[in-house]
Chain A
Amino acid sequence: QSVLTQPPSVSAAPGQKVTISCSGSSSNIGNNYVSWYRQLPGTAPKILIYENNKRHSGIPDRFSGSKSGTSATLGITGLQTGDEADYYCVTFDSSLNAGVFGGGTKLTVL
């Protein structure tokens, strides 16, 4: 059971928009920054968003991040088949004194 809760899967059609949620608590998301990663099968994860809403270098503005209270959201617009991947949120938990990942969300572009 992950400390951060993500939906196991989401899906949408090409060109559409999708959001992926990441729910935590005051000891993690509520008081710390959230990052988002994309992982293609058999490869290392790659960063998309850091510090809640900042896009990493080279990441198109189709990707956005937001945070409200103890939840964070990754948004992807203009979906492409190449966006099919697993997406993870992560932050630091000040009570556990450890990093914590969400369980991951598999995005399917129908």
Chain B
Amino acid sequence: EVQLVESGGGLVQPGGSLRLSCAASGFIFSNYWMTWVRQAPGKGLEWVANIKGDGSTRYYADSVKGRFTISRDNAKNSVYLQMNSLRAEDTAVYYCARVAYVDEGFDSWGQGTLVTVSS
């Protein structure tokens, strides 16, 4: 069974940093692109970043480019999201998702981790 478990969320001050983790199990992790998606309170889903199975290619939403870095450790079956220079508008539940189908077809999602940026 595919499982994705996010961790690392919490309360951080504006301008601060946080690192999210997503631990994967139940599949050959290195074979899949992985994506981070976020959802601000009461708002819709927003695509954040993705990374290829071997880590060689990464894409970012304009809203996080230059501030967030996606990475992965295939030996640990984990994908990460390093978030720097955090702003109030980054407050959201962050989900990791497995890309099983072409063009961001996510067949599995984690339960999400809440990031709150506030002073």
Chain A residues engaging chain B, CB cutoff 8 angstroms: 2, 32-35, 37, 39, 44-47, 50-51, 54, 56, 86, 88, 90-92, 96-104
Which residues of B lie under 8 Å from residue A92 when comparing CB positions?
Answer: 103-104
User: Contacts A45-B109, A88-B45, A104-B44; is A33 near B62 (CB within 8 Å)?
Assistant: no
Asked if residues A45 and B59 are in contact (CB atoms below 8 Å), the reply is: no
Is B31 engaged at the interface, CB distance under 8 Å to the other chain? no
Chain A residues whose CB sits within 8 angstroms of the CB of B109 once the complex forms: 44-46
Interface string of B11-51 (1 = CB under 8 A from A): 00000000000000000000000010100000011110010
Closest chain B CB from A96 CB (angstroms) = 7
27 contacts between A and B (CB under 8 A): A32-B102, A33-B101, A34-B103, A35-B103, A35-B105, A35-B106, A37-B45, A44-B109, A45-B37, A45-B45, A46-B109, A47-B106, A47-B107, A50-B107, A51-B105, A54-B101, A86-B44, A90-B47, A91-B104, A98-B59, A99-B35, A99-B47, A99-B50, A99-B104, A101-B45, A101-B47, A104-B45
Kindly list chain A residues whose C-beta atoms are within 8 Å of the C-beta of B50.
Answer: 99
**When chains A and B are docked, how far (Å) is the Cα of A34 from the Cα of B102?**
9
- State in angstroms the CA–CA spacing of A107 and B88 once bound together: 29
Interface size of B by CB at 8 A reads 24
Top 10 A-B pairs, shortest CB-CB distance? A99-B47, A50-B105, A50-B101, A104-B44, A44-B109, A33-B103, A99-B104, A92-B103, A32-B103, A35-B105
